[in-house]
Amino acid sequence: MTTESALPLPRLPVPDIRAEVAFQHSQKQNQRTQEYRLRPPKLRLANRSHLSTCMSTTAHAISFRGESDGNCNALPELDANALSGSYDRSMNETYFEQCFTRLAKIGEGSFGEVFKVRSNEDGRMYAIKMSKELYRSEHYRQERLEEVRRYEQFSGHANFVQFYRAWEQNDRLYMQMELCRESLDRYLVRRRHIPEETIWNILLDLLLALKNLHDRNLIHLDIKLDNVLIGDDDSCKLADFGLVIDVDRANRHQATEGDSRYMAPEILQGKFSKAADIFSLGVAMLELSCYLELPHNGPLWQQLRSGVLPQDFMKNISPELEVLIRQMMSPDPDSRPTVDHLLSHKKLVCLMERRDRWKLLIKMKQTIRRSRRVAWSKLCNLKHIIFNFVTAILSAYMHRDATSNEHKLNGSPLQQHLRDKRPPMISLRLHASTPTVGNVRNTPIEFLPGENCLHLSQQSTPITFSTHNKIVNSTPVNHNNHSFRSRKDLTKTSFKTVENECGIENFNDIQSSPNGISRPNSFLNLEDLEQNSQPFVSLDKSSLQECRKKLFTKMDN
């Protein structure tokens, strides 16, 4: 006895009897439950010599795009140059570390960890799935790369996650894809109750995704709420193609079972068919509509696979949905409906029609908005043309009116009177700049002798003509510093002098010269003026005399 008690008893494997003890379905728990995937065994001491290419520390892009269907088992070409230009191969950091900023870890499965990242290249957010374990064999690597092929194949469809690129470095696979809001599993835990209308919509999304796979003779084998992601547009997207197999070509022994909670019963007998996906989808719908904690094994697990569904939980769902779930979870794979059969369900047909109408409406709205924008710009153009046309007509009309009025007024006594009353103005052309000292001809004193000389140093520039020297000077020269004169006097004198000297009949005539001569502010050479044939300045003696006479008469008046 003593020897028996002294010896430690060998530990025997303990069966999981939790479900049997409870023997009752329970509500879904919030904490993440243990993974019950039947994973392939790990080969820790695998011969890795054949993995030389992927063991390289340099990142290599992986892509199956452009590959023909007949070559789908071949591995893709490794292209080190296909990765972004900002990647510096000489640095110690990996491509992932160099080109992305890791923001948070958003998920983890049995094969990979998923990070929310920001690309350093374009500043956008992405999700990057990094394989958890290092490549332990070439076979394992090929299995992982198969997921890249599938992601690439289905990327672009509204109900699959958008895929951007994949690369491998240091024995790991990285996949860059669209960042989704959350998984359906998290959504359910957060919301607890999901309205039935939403459940029908989710079912339709997943059936459309599944149709795409089944039409290509592919089976997903891992359909579960955790692998359905909700996109920014609220649509559900099927993700995680790690276990996808080709019904025709795949070696059945290669197939790996998915999560046991969603697994179809025939999988245990090694029967992999499209119907297995339908069963998993049925379980996911049951979980979604009843907020049920799915059993991983045990009698409850068996019950669900023998056609006995928890009535207590199902009393709140519509008979339509219940019937559909029962059909999908039928124990016999052959009696389960196909994707096409399910999609022909009247409720789903109705939903599809509504979506089509909605899409059409959105398209119409966009077309109307676009055409409205085009019409508006055309209208603006037309308005512009009309405006230009009207203004052109109006201005032509007004111009004609103004000209005829002017013609009429020109000869009238009123116009004559107005012209006489207008203050005399003069505009003359600038001919020379300030004279240089020493040049006798140009000295201001020489230019402005005797009576024509103005004493206006503090006042604005007057106009002074000196016919003696044939020079006109506008610069005030203060000869008499003893007294100031009023500006009025100055103007009078200056114009008197000018008219007097030049024989100009009316200063307005001068101003309206076609040469647009401005206010004189310096010297004018009258000879030049004469030579340049300015029509308003007549410098011959006789006209000056005449001008003088007329001006005096006018001034006196």
Ligand X SMILES: Nc1ncnc2c1ncn2[C@@H]1O[C@H](COP(=O)(O)OP(=O)(O)OP(=O)(O)O)[C@@H](O)[C@H]1O
Q: Which residues are catalytic?
A: 222
Residue whose CB is less far from ligand X, 241 or 523: 241
CA angle centred on 414, ends 410 and 419, rounded to 5°: 70
129 binds ligand X per the rule CB under 6 A: yes
Pick from 76, 87, 99, 107 the residue near ligand X by CB under 6 A. 107
Pick from 179, 203, 292, 477 the residue near ligand X by CB under 6 A. 179
Write the DSSP assignment of 534-556 as a string of letters.
-TT---SHHHHHHHHHHHHHHHH
Pick from 168, 205, 240, 257 the residue near ligand X by CB under 6 A. 240
Beta strands, E only, 224-300:
228-230, 236-238, 245-246, 292-293
Counting Cα atoms < 13 Å in the Cβ hemisphere of 238 gives 32
Pick from 240, 266, 277, 499 the residue near Mg ion by CB under 5 A. 240
159 binds ligand X per the rule CB under 6 A: no
When CB distances to ligand X are compared, the closest residue is 109
The DSSP secondary-structure symbol of 486 reads -
- Read off the tokens for 522: 């310096």
Helix, strand, coil percentages for the chain (3-state, nearest 5)? 45, 15, 40
Write the DSSP assignment of 407-423 as a string of letters.
HHHHHSHHHHHHHHHSP
Which of these segments, 135-143, 175-183, 342-350, 367-375, binds ligand X (CB under 6 A)? 175-183
Return d(Cα 237, Cα 113) in angstroms, integer.
Answer: 19
300 binds ligand X per the rule CB under 6 A: no
Counting Cα atoms < 13 Å in the Cβ hemisphere of 258 gives 27
Which of these segments, 110-118, 302-310, 461-469, 527-535, binds ligand X (CB under 6 A)? 110-118
- Read off the tokens for 497: 């002098």
Which of these segments, 85-93, 172-180, 384-392, 501-509, binds ligand X (CB under 6 A)? 172-180
Residue whose CB is less far from ligand X, 143 or 509: 143
Return d(Cα 497, Cα 479) in angstroms, integer.
Answer: 17
Pick from 76, 109, 476, 503 the residue near Mg ion by CB under 5 A. 109
Pick from 130, 229, 236, 276 the residue near ligand X by CB under 6 A. 229
145 binds ligand X per the rule CB under 6 A: no
CB atoms within 10 A of CB 303: 16
Residue whose CB is less far from ligand X, 236 or 453: 236
112 binds ligand X per the rule CB under 6 A: yes
Residue whose CB is less far from ligand X, 129 or 150: 129
Which of these segments, 235-243, 323-331, 403-411, 454-462, binds Mg ion (CB under 5 A)? 235-243
183 binds Mg ion per the rule CB under 5 A: no
Residues 29-58 that bind ligand X (CB under 6 A): 37
Residues 197-226 that bind ligand X (CB under 6 A): 222, 226
- Residue 387 phi/psi, 5° resolution? -60, -45
Close Cβ partners of 316 (under 8 Å, ≥ 6 residues apart): 289, 290
Q: Which does 254 bind (CB under 5 to 8 A by kind): ligand X, Mg ion, none?
A: none
Is 129 labeled as ligand-binding?
yes
Which of these segments, 86-94, 232-240, 420-428, 523-531, binds Mg ion (CB under 5 A)? 232-240
Residue whose CB is less far from Mg ion, 152 or 226: 226
**Paired sense of beta strands 182-183 and 228-230, if any:** antiparallel
Return d(Cα 67, Cα 150) in angstroms, integer.
Answer: 12
Return d(Cα 482, Cα 499) in angstroms, integer.
Answer: 28
Return d(Cα 102, Cα 130) in angstroms, integer.
Answer: 12
266 binds ligand X per the rule CB under 6 A: no
Residue whose CB is less far from Mg ion, 19 or 188: 188
* Binding region for ligand X (CB under 6 A): 37, 106-112, 114, 127, 129, 161, 177-180, 183, 222, 226-227, 229, 239-240, 242
Applying CB under 5 A, the residues found at the interface with Mg ion are 109, 227, 240
Binding positions are 129
Residues annotated within the binding site for ATP are 129
